[in-house]
């Protein structure tokens, strides 16, 4: 992918990121949201997230094709070392390896923060339909996640019920006290924090 650039997101990327997300809200059950957020709400949430966690975009010739970010897994100091991860691609950018590129960049950044657990909340279905396949579950499994919980028929969208699972990937040793989490803006500002390790 010689023309693909992986970099930190900026607030100016919010409109392009929201357009990617809008498709999933309006046409899929990948997210259980019924309406996309307003541009102002989306931008504010992005800025708050970037105060502590990585948010990355993949672009080609200046066009954002996908993004990935981390957010708190759950409120409370004891959960500092766990995050929830999110990844979306423009639908015409799927099948090009961008998902792996973004995920590997995000994982590398989280490791540099001393994060120990990546968690993904994923909609799943017993019978794939036009609104949902199990592609996300399969992708995360390929990335090294394992299913840790399943909630039966908990999300209703497009006149049918969908299941939801949590998947988890451990990044480090939890048999000893963890190192303090470093806010992402304080991570050394060089290309390595977003580039997948070779």
Helix (H, G, I), strand (E, B) or coil at 157: strand
pLDDT for res 78: 97
The residues with which 66 forms a beta bridge, in sequence order, are: 58, 89
Provide the whole-model pTM.
0.92
Mean pLDDT, to the nearest integer, of 84-102? 94
* DSSP class per residue in 168-196: EEE-S--SSPPPPPPPGGGS--SGGGTSP
pLDDT for res 133: 95
Which 3-state string (H, E, C) describes 96-150?
A: CCHHHHHHHHHHHHHHHCCCCEEEEEEEECCCCECCECCHHHHHHHHCCCEEEEE
Mean pLDDT, to the nearest integer, of 41-66? 97
> What percent of the chain has pLDDT above 70?
93
Please give the backbone phi and psi of residue 87, each rounded to the nearest 5 degrees, phi first.
-145, 130
What tokens were used for 53? 């966690």
Whether 47 has a pLDDT exceeding 80, the answer reads yes
Whether 168 has a pLDDT exceeding 80, the answer reads yes
First to last CA, the chain: 15
Whether 181 has a pLDDT exceeding 90, the answer reads yes
> pLDDT (tens digit, 9 = 90+) per residue, 106-124?
999 999 999 999 999 999 9
pLDDT for res 96: 85
Whether 190 has a pLDDT exceeding 70, the answer reads no
Confidence at 95, pLDDT banded by 50, 70, 90: confident
Q: What domains are defined for the chain?
A: 4-177 (3.40.630.30)
pLDDT for res 189: 60
């Amino acid at each position: 992918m010689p023309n693909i650039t992986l970099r930190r997101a900026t607030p100016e990327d919010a409109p392009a990121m929201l357009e990617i997300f809008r498709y999933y809200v309006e046409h899929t059950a990948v997210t259980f949201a019924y309406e996309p957020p307003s541009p102002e709400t989306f931008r504010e949430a992005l800025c708050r997230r970037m105060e502590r966690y990585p948010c990355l975009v993949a672009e080609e010739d200046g066009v954002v094709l996908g993004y990935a970010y981390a957010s708190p897994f759950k409120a409370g100091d004891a959960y500092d070392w766990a995050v929830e991860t999110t990844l979306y691609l423009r639908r015409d950018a799927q099948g090009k390896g961008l998902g792996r590129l973004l995920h590997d960049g995000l994982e590398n950044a989280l490791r540099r923060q001393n994060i120990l657990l990546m968690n993904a909340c994923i909609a799943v279905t017993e019978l794939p339909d036009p609104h949902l396949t199990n592609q996300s579950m399969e992708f995360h499994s390929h990335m090294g996640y394992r299913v840790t919980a399943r909630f039966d028929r908990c999300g209703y969208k497009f006149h049918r019920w969908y299941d939801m699972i949590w998947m988890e990937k451990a990044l480090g040793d939890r048999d000893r006290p963890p190192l303090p989490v470093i806010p992402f803006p304080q991570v050394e500002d060089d290309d390595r924090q977003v580039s997948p390790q070779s």
